Each structure stands twice: as C-alpha cells, then as structure tokens.
Structure 1
C-alpha cells in the first residue's frame, strides 16, 4: 500500500465537530478527510433544531444537566452532563463571534425554542430550522481562510493502522467511486469526527453516506465501543417516500403542533403527560405503533402555525412543497426514522479513545452525555464541547514538529484497485436493520439480523467500507440482544420492563460481537 507521512494532525470528517476542532487546533497544521465538498453530506448541516444552552435568565446549566440525565434513562454520566452544559453559553457566544447568524429578538437577545424533555426554552436556533446549515456555513468560511487547514475533499477513510495498541495511520481512498486503491496516511495524531450510523437503516434522516463507517473502522482496529444498542429514532420524519426522509423538526411541536392519526384523533395525550413534548423515545414508539396499525400518523401544524410555517420553518416547507403537501391546509405524514446514535467509540473526558493516539468527537463518539436517549439539540452542543476538548488535549499531548510546514499542501494521487460497496448488499443491510433492529426489538429478530449480517459480510468482505458498516451493525444488534430490558430508545417487546440492575453503560469489543454472531449463525446460541 502506498504511504504518505505528514506532520499534520489528521481529522476524519467534515461536520461541526471536525470544523470546530480544526479551527481550535490552528495554527497547528491539520488535514481534514472530507468525503464531500465542505458543507455537503454532513449530518451537522442537516440539523434543524439548534444548539441547546441555558441562555434564559431564569434557566440554569444545572437544570439543563438535570434534564439531560433524566432523558438518558439512567445511563448518563452525570459528570459529563455537568461538563457539557456548564459552558454551553460560552459556545453560543463563540459561534456568534465566528459569524453564526442566530435568530435574535428585537432587544438583541437570542430566540429560543422549547423541545421535547427540556424544562425551559433553551434551543438557540437560526432561521427557524436552518441552524445546522447556517452554523456550518460560518465555520466553513473560517476554515477556508485558515492557512493551517488543508481539506482533502472527495476523500474517505476506510481503516486504521495500529501497532501495539497505538494508531499509526489511516487508510484513505477516493470517495467518488470507492474503487481507488487505498493510501496509508500517517500523521502526528488522529481525530475521528465522521458522524454516526443512521444510514444503516432503510428509514433515516441522515445523509446517504453516514452509515457507521467511522465507528466500524475504529471497532475493527480494536477500539472499545460503548452503548452501541442505543439508537435514537426521530419521531417525525416525513413519510413521503424520500430516502433519506426529510425531517419535520421537533421545534414544530415546541410551537404547539400536534400529532393525529388518519381519523383525526390526537393520540399522544393518552400516552404521556407531556403529550407531543414527551421524550423522543416515547413519541417515536407511539408513532411507530400508529404506523404499524395502519393509522397513518401525521403532524398537524395548521392551527398553531398556518401560513407562518412557510417562512418560519423553510426547510420543512420546502420538503412539503416538493411532495405536494401544503402544511397550512393539511397535516404532514410522519414516521419514526433512525436519526442519532447515542453509542459509539468510547471516549474519556479528554476525548481519548481506548487506542493510543486516537481522539473522537461528535456522533461517532460515546462520551456518556446521551445515555439511552439523547435530549433534543444536545448533539451539536456535544460536538462543539468535545471538539475543543480534543483539540486542547492534542495540543498538550503531541509535540510540535520543527518540520510542520503549513504552506506545503499534501499531494495525494489515487490509483485504481479498490472495491466499492455493492449497492444491493447495502440496501439489504439497511432493510435488515430497519425491520429487525429498529424501534421495537425482540430476541428472534435480533438473532435473525445477526445471521443476515454474517451472510452479507461473508459475501462482500472485499470492500473495507462495507465491512465497516457490517461491524457497526453487528455491534448495534449484538448489544441490543444482550441488553435484556427496555431502556430509553432501546425497546425490547420480549423484555418490556426496565431492570434496575441493568442500568449501566454497555461496553463491547467487536471481537466479542463477532464471536456471538458466529455462534448465532451456526444456531449454537
């Protein structure tokens, strides 16, 4: 394999965490591995709600931390919740200084929305539902103007090279076709900030390329994975046949939109005292139940927003328009869709993974903040906080090389020789995850999922990217099988109760999950 050695810090990903970390590392030289053009294909840019922060004078970071712990259903690390929420306001102010155009009131204050399971209106937003895209735009502009940052657009990471438990390189290839021979890139340090796993599911709100590859390649290299079974399903993806499914932001329910079925019956009031503003896992299961029963769940914004939805929530309005829906006159069909992975690569409070020389931030990480059920709009906040934590720790841990020249960009030429994932195999994997490892799970379905994943991997083991997908899928299904209870976003129909003795974060190694999968495939479990 061709090798390139650099004194630069290598960042995998191009979302909010990757961009913010790169800026905080400056003037240390950085190279970013971005599968798409900056701003395209990153989950951060698709985030509609905003950034959660206790900005209201009557609110307090302690309230925010308490809401986070409560929503996480007993598996949130309270110290991490305190760490992240305590400085949330500082990150809003920093983003503002960097050009993020947050919505402001007439007197200059921040416009804040209330979302599910928050005790206060504390989600700072941009243009109603444009927070992710607008924040990303501001950071991308800063990155483009920073000479110490080189972005390799159209490039994706497919594997980690290790020696003695230390990461020594990252295999990269051309992302346009996925068929180039890999190049081993060896840098000064490695930060994974490459997104979650929502695209492993056939019904998802995530960009098409976000399919667990970053988590999977770390797991295949031996990194410890935590809370893999906890996948959050967004209750209100638009059920309009698009892949990925457009998102009807939770802020709509914060504004007073209600959920009804095809008979016009409002069903959440009978499910939870907070009705439409119940925790996401509760609302997702209620919508899934209505969907399974053929009752066509819908989000009704007519009375509370009317025509205002078209200016206040432009992304939702645009998605409605292209699907022939006028939300001012008719309700929006919705379904639960894979949205956010609470689990991922286990990190400590310095952002370090279990492999030496490897840091992780954003959705690919599992910091302990989200537990079994992420509190709405805590995802962007966590990405910002841990991006800075990782940057600070890398600066402290990695000596500056005298040869670190920021004016000499890397020149990487790819040659043919790789194998891209088979589209039919990818779709089969996604359908398996949705039907058997989805909103509601059981032992028989999870075992069948592991058998199907085993067969798919065996038939397509020549594609590193697909192997990474299968690794993450195996971890989700395997850990879901081992957690014999229902907790947060993890719902087992055969174990419907929450077991007080199971209220611990789950830890897994891929080798253990592969052994379990092999036994199940041979019907020995």
Structure 2
C-alpha cells in the first residue's frame, strides 16, 4: 500500500492535515486505532480522539465577526496580547517565533474550519450598528487570558463540534481503522512509511510523508482526563526513527478534575471556563485556595492553580478541594456536558460543592517540530499533543491546544504539498515504492523491532510508578524510584515515553511551569527560562 501522506491519528491535528491534504491533491491514507463498529453511519467516527473531550474552547483573535475583539471585551484585543499571554503562561520557556506564527495563523485556520461546517455558539444579540444579520460568536475568558477570546460550541462541547465537522469533511478518505502504527520506516535518513497492525494482521504502508498525530501520554498515568489511546506511543516511535523530543518534563495537570476514589481511568474534567464564569476554589474550611498565590487568583495559569491545590492538600492532609459554582446562573445551559457528568456522580452544581483535584491533562512537550510540523527526520511530521512546537513552553495556556492542532495540522499538509510540487518541478522522484518500504521493514525485524507490548499488569505498574514519581509535585527520590521500575519493564514505546519524561525531569532540579520540584528552594520566581 502506498500514499503521498500517511496520517496516524484522527483528532483535530490529524484530520486537519488529512482534509487539507485532500484539498491540495495529495493521496492521503488515514490510520486510527479507534474501534470500528459495524452498522450504517453518516460519516467517519473517531470516538477515542482527545479532541472529542475538549470542553473549554478555541482561543483565537481576529475572526471576521469581531475582528478587534471590542464587542466581546469592550476594548480591543489583539494577536500581540494573545502572544503575550501565551508567553507568560509558558513561564518564559516558549519559542517566541513559533508562538507568534501559530497564534497569528489562528484566525485564517478557524475561518477555514468554519467553512467546513463547524458551528460555534453566538452571542444573544448583535452589537449596535452591526451590518451582519447574525450576532458575533460568544467568547469566554479562561485562566491566564487577559481578554475574552475563546469561542466555544454547544456550551462546553467545543471539541466534539470541531471533531464532527472535520470527520464529515474527510468522508471518502482512504482509511485503516482499528489500525495501530508499530514502527516507522526510515531509509537513509528519510521516513518512508510505517508498519501497521490491524485485525487482519501486519502490513506495510509506503508513504512520501508521514504525520504523527496520536495525542499525549495521559494514559501512562493512573489519573488523567485523556482517552484510552493517549499512551505516548508516537514519542517512542519517533525516537526509534531518529527524531528528537523536548520539554518532556512538562506534563500539565488540570487543576479541576472531578474527584473519584477509582484508582485508574479517565476522569471527568470540570472546564476552566467554569472558573472563567465566576466559580471559586475553596478548601474544606471554606477558605480560598489561591488567595495570596497569584494576583489572578483562580484564573491564574494552570500550573500555578494546580500547585496551590497540591500545597493546600498537603497542608490539610486531604484528597480534594471544592469548586463552588452554586451562585452561577444558567449553569446547565452553559455547561451541559459537565452538568451531565456531575449528575452521574449525584452532584447538583446549583446546590452542592464540586469536589475537584488535579489530574494529568496535557503533554506540553513532545516530538520537536517546526510550526509546520516538520521533525529533524526528512519526511516525518508531527502535530497536536504528541508534538512540541514551542507554543506551550513549560505550561500550556488554556484553549491553545485546539488552536495548535488546527493550525499546525493544516500547515503540515500545505508544507508537504509544496515539497511534492517542488520535487516534481525538478523532475525528482518524490514517491516511495512499496518494495523499498518492505525491504526496510524486513531489516528492522532482524534488529528486533517493532518493540514489545506491555501486559495489563505491566501497564498498571508503569502507571503507578509515573503517578507516584512524576506527578504534580516531584522529588529526586520519587523520580529515581520511577526510573527503577521503568528499567525493569519491557522497553515498549509507552515505556520509552515514560523514560523521556522522568529523565527530563531529573535534568531540571527546580520548579518551572508545570514541573514542580520539591527538593530545592523554588527558583522559578527568581527568573524564568
């Protein structure tokens, strides 16, 4: 099997690349690990993509409905202000050029998405003197943002709407669902495809370019908001292919995840937008959790709020704090997804305090790429949560993840199409033959690749080690204990991702962003990277 562009992953980044690739005339093959269920359907469905779960929204400035942000904020917003907020949240560790390019590209990419059929919530009324028949999009504010610039859909179902629109847009694409990439194929420094397993067995895909978009590492921890497929596999695959990773120590813990006594599994997220609308974090005594920690209080960046919660829980010897949303009007209409999740736990936000605690939410680092998704390996690209463009630095700004996946996924396809055109104009052969890919795969088998899988018991050991040793707060002793367990396990791609996190954390013996180091005096306040 051959193609111009092999896309591995079916979330916002992968589907944006696939759709844009189709528009530009690329022969695209999409591989996704989600289970294919029999029966009629109107369009493709990638239910295990993390994009489906994104509640808060998409941070973007410059859309045509309110190009200056003046209607939403009463004063102008700007790309420069969004860039400044991103750099501040990233604790001085962002790549400023990447931040500027991705944030500046947000409006064009979002208008493209809207053109594909994405429907975002609108304000109740149009501004006085507006020539548009429709009100502008409703915008909210979240932690770390200086303005209301976050558009949303279905109240708190933004990711699901973006996923729906992109799924419809790639109807008819060549697809291997129930497929899992086991190894990337590299020949003379160029990525030329992948070894793919599906229920029929093992096969080889020869590709002129390969894009990894499989999500983050949440599922190698015990408590996470991530879906079941987020096990860091792209990290291990890319490392084996010769790509670089960076900033792996920066694992973002979302401050407000519904507390449960279950030991493992995906947790119910309580979006930052709830605090953006006025909910307050309090402890069991009714005292503010964040007072005195940061002038922005409960709307400080996630690393600061998570650290404040962890400190209060250590102080009180308790497992959770509370989110008080009892005074908010219209909670069910604004947050229907959250309301349903709380109802399943017998919690009424109009009457009850919501028990919350931090849990693994987002991988800020990953495979090192340019703003077009290019890795250091020719022909290999990555986008979305498995990648590290430098946008997030040491801590991701709320609602910048959908932005990045959309902008970089689209840009990757455009870069690949441009390279194909350039190669053809020079008379060079850009295509990769199946015979060549088969030969590379055969050689890799002789060297012991693909890597082994973990048993359920081994995966559980890994999750426990990562939760204890590389959690929201870290010590050298805990990290080294986690590394000992990592050394004892089969060296699967998931274990490689875990090793990259722990080793990166050990190389940074001080607090920065969402990497909180307890062994030494906190030097974060004395100077960020």
What corresponds to 2:444 in structure 1? none
Query: What is the rounded CA distance, in whole Å, between the counterparts of 1:255 and 1:433 in structure 2?
Result: 33
Query: What is the rounded CA distance, in whole Å, between the counterparts of 1:135 and 1:142 in structure 2?
Result: 11
What corresponds to 1:517 in structure 2? none
Query: What is the rounded CA distance, in whole Å, between the counterparts of 2:178 and 2:493 in structure 1?
Result: 19
Query: What is the rounded CA distance, in whole Å, between the counterparts of 1:167 and 1:91 in structure 2?
Result: 27
Normalising by structure 1, report the TM-score. Answer: 0.86
Q: Does 1:439 align with 2:489?
A: no
Q: 1:356 to 1:291 in 2, by over 3 A?
A: same
What corresponds to 1:12 in structure 2? 8
Query: What is the rounded CA distance, in whole Å, between the counterparts of 2:356 and 2:208 in structure 1?
Result: 46
- Given that 2:207 and 2:431 are in contact with CA atoms closer than 8 Å, whether structure 1 keeps it comes out as no
Query: What is the rounded CA distance, in whole Å, between the counterparts of 1:104 and 1:130 in structure 2?
Result: 14
> Which of 297, 301, 311 is the equivalent residue of 2:321?
297
What corresponds to 1:510 in structure 2? none
What corresponds to 1:30 in structure 2? 28
What corresponds to 2:489 in structure 1? 456
Q: Which runs of 5+ in 2 are unaligned?
A: 37-44, 63-68, 71-75, 127-134, 433-449
Pairwise CA distance, 1:314: 1.0
What corresponds to 2:440 in structure 1? none
Pairwise CA distance, 1:342: 0.8
Pairwise CA distance, 1:501: 10
Q: Deviations over 1:2-25 (max 9, x none)?
A: xxx413410010000111111111
How many residue pairs are counted as aligned between the two chains?
471
Query: What is the rounded CA distance, in whole Å, between the counterparts of 1:402 and 1:222 in structure 2?
Result: 21
What corresponds to 1:408 in structure 2? none
What corresponds to 1:44 in structure 2? 51
- Given that 1:196 and 1:212 are in contact with CA atoms closer than 8 Å, whether structure 2 keeps it comes out as yes
- Given that 1:39 and 1:137 are in contact with CA atoms closer than 8 Å, whether structure 2 keeps it comes out as no
- Give 3-state SS (helix, strand or coil) of 1:7's partner: strand
- Give 3-state SS (helix, strand or coil) of 1:188's partner: strand
Q: Deviations over 1:410-451 (max 9, x none)?
A: xxxxxxx99753111111111111111011111111111111
Q: 1:304 to 1:158 in 2, by over 3 A?
A: same
Q: Does 1:53 align with 2:60?
A: yes
Q: Deviations over 1:212-270 (max 9, x none)?
A: 01112111222111111111100011112462001000000000000112222222123
> Which of 315, 321, 341 is the equivalent residue of 2:337?
315
- Give 3-state SS (helix, strand or coil) of 1:491's partner: coil
- Give 3-state SS (helix, strand or coil) of 1:140's partner: helix
Identify which range, 417-426 or 250-259, moves more after superposition. 417-426
- Give 3-state SS (helix, strand or coil) of 1:269's partner: coil
What corresponds to 2:184 in structure 1? 160
Pairwise CA distance, 1:87: 2.5
Query: What is the rounded CA distance, in whole Å, between the counterparts of 1:363 and 1:92 in structure 2?
Result: 18
- Given that 1:212 and 1:468 are in contact with CA atoms closer than 8 Å, whether structure 2 keeps it comes out as yes
Pairwise CA distance, 1:271: 2.0
What corresponds to 2:496 in structure 1? 471
> Which of 72, 81, 84 is the equivalent residue of 1:66?
84
Query: What is the rounded CA distance, in whole Å, between the counterparts of 1:311 and 1:255 in structure 2?
Result: 13
- Given that 1:436 and 1:449 are in contact with CA atoms closer than 8 Å, whether structure 2 keeps it comes out as yes
Query: What is the rounded CA distance, in whole Å, between the counterparts of 1:431 and 1:76 in structure 2?
Result: 30
| Superposition CA RMSD, Å | 2.1
What corresponds to 2:461 in structure 1? 428
Query: What is the rounded CA distance, in whole Å, between the counterparts of 1:294 and 1:95 in structure 2?
Result: 47
- Given that 2:121 and 2:153 are in contact with CA atoms closer than 8 Å, whether structure 1 keeps it comes out as yes
Q: Deviations over 1:472-509 (max 9, x none)?
A: 100000000011221000111113423699965xxxxx
Q: Does 1:135 align with 2:162?
A: yes
- Given that 1:181 and 1:418 are in contact with CA atoms closer than 8 Å, whether structure 2 keeps it comes out as no
Q: 1:104 to 1:86 in 2, by over 3 A?
A: same
Pairwise CA distance, 1:156: 1.2
- Given that 1:239 and 1:333 are in contact with CA atoms closer than 8 Å, whether structure 2 keeps it comes out as yes
Pairwise CA distance, 1:93: 2.0
What corresponds to 1:334 in structure 2? 356
Q: Deviations over 1:317-361 (max 9, x none)?
A: 111111111111101111111111110000123321011110111
Pairwise CA distance, 1:152: 1.2
Q: Deviations over 1:104-157 (max 9, x none)?
A: 01221010110001000111111221000011101111111xx4x212111111
Identify which range, 355-364 or 263-272, moves more after superposition. 263-272
Pairwise CA distance, 1:291: 3.2
> Which of 179, 187, 190 is the equivalent residue of 2:207?
187
Query: What is the rounded CA distance, in whole Å, between the counterparts of 1:325 and 1:500 in structure 2?
Result: 38
Normalising by structure 2, report the TM-score. Answer: 0.85
Pairwise CA distance, 1:47: 0.6
